[in-house]
Amino acid sequence: MDRMSLPPATAPSLEVSGLAYAYPDGHQALFGVDLTVARGERVALLGPNGAGKTTLVLHLNGILDAGAGTVRVAGLPVEKKNLAEIRRRVGIVFQDPDDQLFMPTVREDVAFGPASAGLRGPELEQRVMTALERVGMAEYAARPPHHLSFGQRRRVAVATVLAMEPEILVLDEPSSNLDPASRRELADILRSLDVTVLMVTHDLPYALELCPRAVVLSDGVIAADDRTQDLLCDDALMREHRLELPFGFDPRSVSVPRP
C-alpha cells in the first residue's frame, strides 16, 4: 500500500461501528457492535462464552467480513484492498503459543513475519532482536521453542507479533496456564509496550491489573463500557452477564490509579 495514502496518525487505533455478523449456518453472533479504542489504550474485552468475543476479534484483521457495519484500524477500513497493511497493524497473540511457533529456533519464528513481508539482512536481524529484547527473550534466540517453558513460549509468541511493529496487540487469554511468576513477568512486559492493547480474558483480576478500561460483550452487543474497577464492582451487571470473580477477590480493595 502507498504510505502516502494512509490515514493520519491522529485516528483511533480501532473504530467499530454497527458491526453485525451471521455465520453461514444462520447463527447471528454480532448484532451491532460499536467500540472505539484510542491509541495507547489497554482495554479488556470481557464476556461469557458464546458472547461473540472471538467473532469480533476475527473482524479486526479481515479474517471475517462484516455482514453490516464497518471496522477501521488507525483510520484504515478493513477491506480487501487494505488487508496486507491491516494484518501488519493488528497482531493477534493466540491463547496457545504452540499455535504460533513452528520454526526450528526462536529467532526463525520471530523473523518469519517480517521476512515474509520482504525484510532481509541486518534490518531483519535488528527487528528480531529488538522484539526479543522487549519480551526478555533475546538470550534464547538460538533455542528450539519446544525446549522453553510455557511462559517463555508465550513471551516468544508476543515477540513474533511485535516484530511486525503492530498498531494493536490483541491478546487471547494471555494469563491462561501461567504460574504466578510468569503472570507477573508478562504483565510487566505488557505495561512496558507502547502499543494499543485489546485483551480478551476471563481472568478478571488480570484485567483489573492491566486494563484501566473494560467492555462487556454479551449476546452479540456491548453491554457495558466503563472503568474496569467500576465495572467489576457492579454486582448486578456481573451476575446478569455471567461474570464471576475468584473466591475471596474484592475489586473494591484494590488500589487502581485512574487512567
Per-residue model confidence as pLDDT tens digits over 164-213? 999 999 999 999 999 999 999 999 999 999 999 999 999 999 999 999 99
Amino acid type, 225:
D
Residue 138 included in any domain: yes
H/E stretch holding 228 reads helix 228-232
In a domain, 220, yes or no: yes
Is residue 16 in some structural domain?
no
Tell me if 165 sits within 8 A of 87, measured CB to CB: no
Band (pLDDT 50/70/90 cuts) for residue 237 is very high
If one compares 4 and 250, the residue with the highest pLDDT of the two is 250
pLDDT per residue over 64-92, tens digit each? 999 999 999 999 999 999 999 999 999 99
CA dist., res. 242 & res. 259, Å (int): 26
Q: Which domain holds residue 184?
A: 40-51+91-244
Coil, strand or helix at 93: strand
Mean pLDDT of the residues in the chain: 93
Residue 63: C-alpha distances to residues 24, 92, 158, 166 (Å) = 14, 12, 20, 17
212 assigned to some structural domain: yes
Three-state DSSP at 174 gives coil
The number of beta carbons lying within 10 Å of the beta carbon of residue 142 is 10
pLDDT at 3: 47
Q: Return the CATH number at 160.
A: 3.40.50.300
Provide the percentage of residues in the chain whose pLDDT is more than 70: 95
Q: Which three cell numbers stand for residue 109?
A: 519464528
Question: Domain for residue 22, yes or no?
Answer: no
Q: What is the pLDDT of residue 37?
A: 97
**Residue 155 covered by a domain:** yes
How far, in Å, CA of 105 to CA of 186, rounded? 21
**Residue 219's Cα: distance from chain center in Å?**
21
Could you tell me if residue 222 is inside a domain? yes
Residue 239 lies in a domain: yes
Q: What is the CA radius of gyration of the chain?
A: 18
For the chain, how many structural domains are there in total?
1
pLDDT, tens digit (0-9, with 9 covering 90-100), for 39-64? 999 999 999 998 999 999 999 999 99
The Cα 79–Cα 70 span in angstroms is 9
Angstrom distances, CA of residue 124 to CA of 107, 164, 176: 10, 10, 31
pTM for the whole structure:
0.91
Residues paired with residue 17 on neighbouring β-strands, in sequence order = 70
C-alpha cell at 11: 485516528
